[in-house]
Amino acid sequence: MDATVVAAAAVGPAAADEEFRQLVVAEAQRKASTYYYTAGLECKVVSASCSERSMTVELTVDAGMISSAQVLDEGLVGTIADYWTSTLITATSGGKHALTTSLSVQALRPVAEGATVHVVCTATESSAGSAPHATARFVLASDPTLVVALAAHTKFFKALPQKQPAP
pTM: 0.80
Q: What is the pLDDT of residues 39-78, one digit of tens each?
A: 567 788 999 998 899 999 999 999 999 999 999 999 999 9
pLDDT at 48: 92
34: Cα within 13 Å, side-chain hemisphere: 2
**Residue 27 CB burial class (10 angstroms; 0-12, 13-18, ≥19):** middle
Is there a contact between 102 and 154 (Cβ–Cβ < 8 Å)?
yes
pLDDT at 8: 47
Q: What is the pLDDT of residues 105-156, one digit of tens each?
A: 999 999 999 999 999 999 987 666 678 899 999 999 999 999 999 999 998 8
The 10 Å Cβ neighbour count of residue 38 is 21
pLDDT at 39: 57
Query: What are the boundaries of each domain within the chain?
Result: 3-157
CATH number of 3-157: 3.10.129.10
pLDDT at 6: 47
Q: Which residues contact 60 (CB under 8 A, 6 or more apart)?
A: 42, 114, 115, 116, 117
Q: For helices 13-29 and 74-92, give the axis angle rounded to 10 degrees.
A: 120
Q: Which residues contact 102 (CB under 8 A, 6 or more apart)?
A: 152, 153, 154
Q: What is the pLDDT of residues 73-84, one digit of tens each?
A: 999 999 999 999
